[in-house]
Amino acid sequence: QVQLVESGGGLVQAGGSLRLSCAQAGRALGTYAMAWFRRPSGNEREFVAAITWRFDNTYYADSVNGRFTISRDNAKNTVYLQMNSLKPEDTAVYYCALTRDTKLPYRLIRADEYNYWGQGTQVTVSS
């Protein structure tokens, strides 16, 4: 069983930065990709960014492209989300997710393609 533990959320002013971390508990056998999704209050969960574990391919939502960077540390079994130039509309609960199955890139933006999820971490951006 895979356990994902997120950290790094908090309150920041618009224009500021935060870095989220998501650590896999145990051995990260067979990870194909990890991703970050977010759920703004009252809205559905939406894709933010994804990264493939072997080839380091990255994918971003248009709304965060150029401001957010997803990266991974294989040795630490951890994925990061560096968030810069934050905006109030980035306020949400952020979740990391993992899939062990090989997927075409267009499927990596879909929440239902991921088997494992973290508990979420709140990010609040004040104006």
* pLDDT surpassing 70 at residue 52: yes
Average pLDDT, the chain: 94
* pLDDT surpassing 80 at residue 108: yes
49 and 59 Cβ atoms separated by less than 8 Å: yes
Instruction: Tell me what pLDDT residue 2 has.
Output: 82
Helix (H, G, I), strand (E, B) or coil at 46: strand
Instruction: Tell me what pLDDT residue 89 has.
Output: 97
At 9-47, the pLDDT tens digits run: 999 999 999 999 999 986 667 889 999 999 999 899 999
User: Distance between CA atoms of 71 and 78, rounded to whole angstroms?
Assistant: 9
Mean pLDDT along residues 57-83: 95
Burial of residue 66, with CB atoms counted within 10 A of its CB: 0-12 exposed, 13-18 middle, 19 or more buried: exposed
Residue 74 φ then ψ, to 5°: -60, -40
User: Distance between CA atoms of 8 and 57, rounded to whole angstroms?
Assistant: 23
User: Distance between CA atoms of 67 and 53, rounded to whole angstroms?
Assistant: 21
